[in-house]
Amino acid sequence: MGDPAAALSIADPMRVANPRTWPSMLLVAAVAAALGCGNKGAAGAPGPAPAPTIPAAAPGPGAAPAASPAAAPPAPPPIAAPPPPAPARPGADFTAEAKQLFREVACGTREPIADAARAKVVDKHCAWVDAQLGRYRDNYVVGARGFFDALVPDDVPRTVVYPFGGGDLISALVAFPDADEITTISLEQAGDPRRIGELTPAQLGDSLGQLRGQLGGTLSVGSNTSENLSSSQRNDLPAQVSSFLLGLAANGFEPVGMRFIRLEADGALHYLTADEIAAIETAAAEARARAKGKDKAKAAKGKARKHDWLDPNFSEAFANVEIEYRRAGDPSDRVRVHRHFGWNLRDADLVKHPELMAHLAGKGKVAGLVKGASYLLWRNDFSTMRDYLLGHIAWMLSDSTGIPPLYARKAGMVQVTYGQFTGPFLEGASPKHSEEFKALWEANPKRRLPVRFGYVDAEKHPHLVVTRPK
């Protein structure tokens, strides 16, 4: 916008002239008018505003064109209207809880904690986290960065699907640091973040101690035991959310939003409101109190996704989560999204709850990641997820718990191996697929793998396989 005073002086010089000069200016204007000087005034001085002009008749044939009247001064540009407010985000907002968990559990910042007793508990925990994440960054974020940068194609989709992933966002970010959207799926449910603000320092210390045992494997080797993952569902801290936030901290990201979600029948996302969360908890408490006579407050919890897993001590409302994140300390960085679904991926359960597959199908082509998946994709009762991956991956990274060569070949896929594979890590895995994988490694040239990324093989060799369309 130009200088308002300048614009005003052009439009009406009489309004900005010194008032003490107005009489002499009027005299000059009157003399100029009497002498027929028009708008030019004496010695080029500006005269009074012109009288309204009556349009002249069209000139006759051969007449010289009339002189153009003096151009009207430009009007000052309009003042821009303020931008409309951003639309309200759907669902109940748990960003404050995410940031407190990021500080006190993931140790992603060092903001002061006012309560001295609480600060002491957090400092002790963060000393352990710093050591764990320091080693992880040395090995993976820094040490293996060149390997993954060379391995993952530049044109790989920025939408990543990671089934059987537990709380392992940390590995997904190592392999795909530029992803715009990462979806993890596992039996573990996200967890209730509200309790972080209710725990006393002593209670927080107990929960953090349990969490260090429950999540230690994820931070050291990027995988964990079923027993640890199952027991973590009974922690007063939201173990899965905490694990996701540790993954952000390890890879240089920070949370900027958190909401809880459910899937509609067509796979669309629905963000739960505070009223909906309260209604879910009340209905669950009443149903359990009627069935078992338990106190409603203690009965308000969810149901495990597998019969031999512990029921979580939080409600169904906190099964699925969406966390928005960006580069730490960089407000200009684009906001990316991680979503986690607590879901059983067995065929029979996907028939009962098909919303997830509808949601995943809507993503189109994706980058895939499978590791530490207990060889479930080798089994016939997990064919739905296996077929989804074969139909939607543009590129996939896995250990030997990924897609067996038999199914990959039938789908027209190519598989490229790294490291060494002599047999499955767990007993009971299919001998047929084991032999197929061994033959695959023998047929491929030997390629170096600098770090363990998922399961080792029967002789504790690290290994990886890339699966992609021909």
pLDDT tens, position by position, 161-194: 999 988 899 999 999 999 999 999 999 999 999 9
Residue 337: how many other CB atoms lie within 10 Å: 15
Average pLDDT, the chain: 83
How many angstroms separate the most distant Cα atoms in the chain?
114
pLDDT of residue 27: 33
How far apart, in whole angstroms, are the C-alpha atoms of residue 1 and residue 407? 65
Residue whose pair of structure tokens reads 């074969």 in the numeric block: 390
Backbone angles phi, psi at 79, to 5 degrees: -75, 125
Residue whose pair of structure tokens reads 């960054």 in the numeric block: 137
Instruction: Tell how strand 181-186 and strand 159-163 pair up.
Output: parallel
Confidence check: pLDDT of 42 > 60? no
Residues 326, 256: contact at Cβ < 8 Å? yes
The closest alpha carbon to 231, from 164, 172, 294, 304, belongs to 304
> Is residue 424 helix, strand or coil?
coil
Q: What is the DSSP string of 324-359?
A: EEEETT-TTSPPEEEEEEE---SHHHHHH-THHHHH
State the average pLDDT over residues 142-160.
Answer: 96
Share of the chain above pLDDT 70, in %: 76
How far apart, in whole angstroms, are the C-alpha atoms of residue 280 and residue 300? 9
pLDDT band, very low/low/confident/very high, at 22 (cuts 50, 70, 90): very low
Backbone angles phi, psi at 25, to 5 degrees: -65, -40
DSSP state of 375: T
Rounded to 10 degrees, the C-alpha dihedral 444/446/451/453 comes to 10
**Phi/psi-derived region of residue 460, left when phi > 0, alpha when psi is between -120 and 50, beta in every other case:** left
Backbone angles phi, psi at 272, to 5 degrees: -75, 130
Which amino acid type is present at position 302? G
pLDDT of residue 303: 81
How far apart, in whole angstroms, are the C-alpha atoms of residue 422 and residue 436? 11
Instruction: Give bridge partners of residue 326 from the DSSP assignment.
Output: 254
| Joined tokens for residue 448 | 């170096």
How far apart, in whole angstroms, are the C-alpha atoms of residue 322 and residue 262? 10
Ranges of each domain in the chain: 95-370
pLDDT tens, position by position, 377-426: 999 999 999 999 999 999 999 999 999 999 999 999 999 999 999 999 99
Instruction: Tell how strand 321-327 and strand 159-163 pair up.
Output: unpaired
The answer for residues whose C-beta is within 8 angstroms of residue 53's C-beta and 6 or more apart is 69
pLDDT tens, position by position, 263-280: 999 999 999 999 999 999
pLDDT of residue 90: 85
pLDDT band, very low/low/confident/very high, at 313 (cuts 50, 70, 90): confident
End-to-end CA distance of the chain: 58
**Phi/psi-derived region of residue 465, left when phi > 0, alpha when psi is between -120 and 50, beta in every other case:** beta
pLDDT of residue 289: 77
Instruction: Tell how strand 336-342 and strand 321-327 pair up.
Output: antiparallel
Residue whose pair of structure tokens reads 């989709």 in the numeric block: 157
How far apart, in whole angstroms, are the C-alpha atoms of residue 320 and residue 343? 9
Confidence check: pLDDT of 14 > 50? no
Backbone angles phi, psi at 275, to 5 degrees: -65, -40
Burial of 133 (0-12, 13-18, 19+ CB in 10 A): buried
Residues 317, 191: contact at Cβ < 8 Å? no
pLDDT of residue 406: 97
pLDDT band, very low/low/confident/very high, at 302 (cuts 50, 70, 90): confident
How far apart, in whole angstroms, are the C-alpha atoms of residue 78 and residue 258? 40
Which amino acid type is present at position 116? A
Residue whose pair of structure tokens reads 């543009």 in the numeric block: 394
Q: What is the pTM of this model?
A: 0.79
Helix axis angle for 116-136 and 95-104, nearest 10°, is 80
